[in-house]
Amino acid sequence: MRKIFLVIMMLLGLNLFAAETIKVGALVDLSGGTADVGKPYADGIKDCVKWFNENGGINGRQIELLIVDYGYKIPNALAAYKEFKMKKVVAIHGWGTGDTEALTKFVAEDKMPYVSASYSEHLADGKKKPYNFFVGASYSDQTEAALKFVKDKGGKNVAFIYNNTGFGRSPFFPDGENAAKKLGLNLVDKQVVDLKALDATAQMLNLKKSGAQYAIIQETYMATSTILKDAKKNGLNTRFIGLNWTFDKPLIKIAGAASEGFYGVSPFAFWDEDNNEGIRFLKQLNKKYNPSIQEREVNYVQGFASMYVLLSAIKNVKGKITGEAIKYSLESMKNFNTMGLTPPVTFTKDVHKGVRAAKIYEIKNGKIVPVTGVITLD
Amino acid sequence: MNYINCGNFKTSYEKDAAIYQTTFSKICIYSFLIGLFVLPFFLNSYLLYIMNMIFISVIAAVGLNILTGFTGLISLGHGAFIGVGAFAAGYLISKFSFGFFIIIPLAAIITSMVGVIFGTPSLRLKDLYLSIATLAAQFILEFIFIRAERITGGVNGMPVDAPVFFGYTIDNDFRFYFFSLIYTIIMVTAAKNIIRTKIGRAFVSIRDNYIAAETMGVDLFRYKLLSFAISSFYAGVAGALWAYYVRFITPEHFTINVSIQYLSMIIIGGLGSILGSIFGTIFMVVLPELLRHIIGIFSHYLPVLEQIFPAIREAFYGLVIILFLLFEPEGLARRWNLIKAYWKLWPFSY
């Protein structure tokens, strides 16, 4: 047994680089339940670090990115976190809701700034979760935007579709329910569809019976396409609105014609928005780094933007780079410009959600078209 | 299969059931234990984490082996039982200000009561049918974890305070190492002794032939439920330790995957062997981490690997398990005995 440990130690030793670099950890999912969105996201993170390093790094120091694929499993996330800590990373870019929650206590104790790809509203509380941040509009805010949109369209009866995980329930209970009540909408149905579901006929028939005009979906591409296909098969008149993880090109590819007329709430810029400064920049960068890939998912943009914010915050630190200094630097970001990849990013001492605006898009003839301007959320 | 030195013969059943077969084995075990207490002073926090995970998992795996390996009742609900232990501990900690030495046994007792409830079908059901019944337990409990928000905190999970031992807060890997090591030693010793008593022999007789066992006067229902109770008690202790270690419990952790992982631990280690549960656990905890590091090294030279690895990792993991079942069907425990036997006769075999 000890021999194995010696081997592990040696292997770890080999991995250690010169001390001059700034180490940043990244927890990504390339093989687990959310790998469909996790892979492009991880590419975004990597390219962002590469670009920073090519342009002088952080005040002359190179960034060393330690990437761990944790397969969407909490114990693996813990193991990776302990390893990051041992290798003395200055900040971590994390991933899902469950694992981010599980690490909250540790990151607060170790003063480790932790930017997650989970936009759960209660990670945004700077008092309770002092070291958790995210660059995005919270799920609850997105739901509220969707509900307002429904009201503007004259809708009355709404339904929620989610999966029974922290990620799935976060936008609706209790925030989404309260928002619906406040806006005077009737919440007529709640349906559970698993993240990897390939059949949602029973749920769709229930939804049909409930008479919901609009249904808000919190899933990833896979389950969303199942929902849309089965809704079409069963002749539902319900219009669907997806939150940010449901909505982009891959969905159109999987769901095909069933995705026609699907609405999506997203605070991020899509790859086709050629008039967006950030997208133009990313297209150039992508041509240089990955000439074989012509098109990128919105998750790539998310990953890039999120890492861009974190690295910029580290860059802005005056003096020694410590967890506290990075937290302070993040919290002093006011209307930080991400080249238009997201609306301007603002963190305060108490509110750790970076983005408070989103747009609603619709899929028309296989293209993503904005149907509203920027909606400000609070 | 037993490999015993020439001249080492036994004259009584007590001697045959002794834990320390020879003075030499006694010395080995004690020095190993002392070694375990010295080890953490040389480990960094990452290796300490792996050791802690091994300790916690060993307790749960030993519990499952008592149920599946010794009594022959397959359980696919062990992951959920660990969850019951974790949530029970979390709930008790949030409501009462007891120390951990009361919380952990209480949580374990609650878990063992839940285990008995879900073990009741075992009177009528055997083998695959029972495994499906325990699978139901897994899903029912998972559902309860998510929906019983007042007790478990629902999908948002539940924060837990670190244990305090006479003024020392056990809040880092180094301190937790001793905490979990002591619990592991207690629980493993207890298991070893349960197996040596009447209860253990009743379990084995039920596994080997339940009709013969009943004719011999073994009360099937009572012993089957007792097996469930003991096994869940172990799961409860492991769950409570996990809660204390991670200090945040979410239902997402206690899924069917965890149950299957524990089953594979005891199959790889050796069904019906306490030592086997320990080997199996070490194997299953260390293998994925080791794989990750090996690939990490190689991908410095071959960046392609980094792209392919995520896709093949799970497959590779499965392959290792299949190979194990093919070439070592009786588990690592048997291989250990073979190695021991080889060195006993080395260099001059008969």
Residue of A nearest to B53 (CA): A75
Q: Please name the member of B159, B246, B311 whose beta carbon is closest to the beta carbon of A31.
A: B311
Interface of B with A (CB under 8 A): 43-50, 53, 143, 146, 154-157, 159, 171, 173, 246-248, 250, 252-253, 257, 282, 286, 288-290, 292-294, 296-297, 309-311, 313-314
Continuous H helices in A25-122: 35-54, 74-86, 97-110
Q: For chain A, what percent of residues have pLDDT higher than 70?
A: 95
Query: Which pLDDT belongs to residue A17?
Result: 43
Return the H-helix or E-strand segment holding A361: strand A357-364
Query: What ipTM was estimated for this complex?
Result: 0.72
Distance between CA atoms of A144 and A119, rounded to whole angstroms? Answer: 14
Contact predicate A172/A160, CB 8 Å: yes
Mean pLDDT of A245-260: 89
Query: Which pLDDT belongs to residue A2?
Result: 59
Residue of B nearest to A166 (CA): B155
Is the Cβ pair A105, B292 closer than 8 Å?
A: no
Of A255, A264, A147, A161, the residue nearest A206 (C-alpha): A161
A290 close to B (CB below 8 A): no
Residue recorded with tokens 């660990």: B82
- Please give the mean pLDDT across all residues of chain A: 88
Residue type, B257: N
Q: What is the pLDDT along chain B (350 residues), one digit of tens a residue?
A: 455 666 667 788 777 777 777 788 889 889 999 999 999 899 888 889 899 999 999 999 999 999 999 998 888 999 999 999 999 999 998 888 888 889 999 999 999 999 999 988 887 777 788 888 899 999 999 889 888 878 887 777 788 888 888 888 887 888 899 999 999 999 999 999 999 899 999 999 999 988 999 999 999 889 999 999 999 999 999 999 999 988 888 888 888 888 988 998 898 898 888 999 999 999 988 888 888 788 777 777 776 666 666 667 677 778 877 888 888 888 888 888 888 878 877 777 66
Q: Tokens at residue B103, please?
A: 């919380």
Interface test with A, best of B56, B293, B305 (most A CBs within 10 A): B293
Q: Please name the member of B250, B257, B293 whose beta carbon is closest to the beta carbon of A11.
A: B293
Q: pLDDT tens digit string along B32-87?
A: 999 999 998 998 888 898 999 999 999 999 999 999 999 988 889 999 999 999 99
CA angle at residue A117 from B86 to A200, to 5 degrees?
A: 75
A223 close to B (CB below 8 A): no
Contact predicate A271/A297, CB 8 Å: yes
- A103 to chain B: which residues are within 8 Å by CB? 248
Which positions 43-72 of A are in contact with B (Cβ < 8 Å)? 68-69, 71
Q: pLDDT tens digit string along A160-175?
A: 999 888 888 889 988 8
Mean pLDDT of A269-282: 89
Distance between CA atoms of B345 and A70, rounded to whole angstroms? Answer: 45
Distance between CA atoms of B95 and B110, rounded to whole angstroms? Answer: 15
Angle (deg, nearest 10), helices B45-64 and B220-246 = 170
Instruction: Tell me the count of A-B CB pairs closer than 8 A.
Output: 99
Q: Please name the member of B155, B156, B310 whose beta carbon is closest to the beta carbon of A69.
A: B310
Continuous H helices in B100-172: 100-119, 127-147, 149-152
Query: Which pLDDT belongs to residue B37?
Result: 92
A12 close to B (CB below 8 A): yes
Q: Tokens at residue B349, please?
A: 């075999």
Is the Cβ pair A74, B293 closer than 8 Å?
A: no
Is the Cβ pair A82, B49 closer than 8 Å?
A: yes
Is the Cβ pair A164, B290 closer than 8 Å?
A: no
pLDDT band at A97 (very low <50, low <70, confident <90, very high): confident
Mean pLDDT of A23-30: 91
Distance between CA atoms of B304 and B298, rounded to whole angstroms? Answer: 10
Q: Tokens at residue B328, please?
A: 């070592």
Return the H-helix or E-strand segment holding A157: strand A157-162
- A98 to chain B: which residues are within 8 Å by CB? 157, 250, 252-253
Distance between CA atoms of B157 and B308, rounded to whole angstroms? Answer: 34
- Rounded CA Rg of chain B: 21
Question: Residue A184 burial (CB < 10 Å; 0-12/13-18/19+)?
Answer: exposed
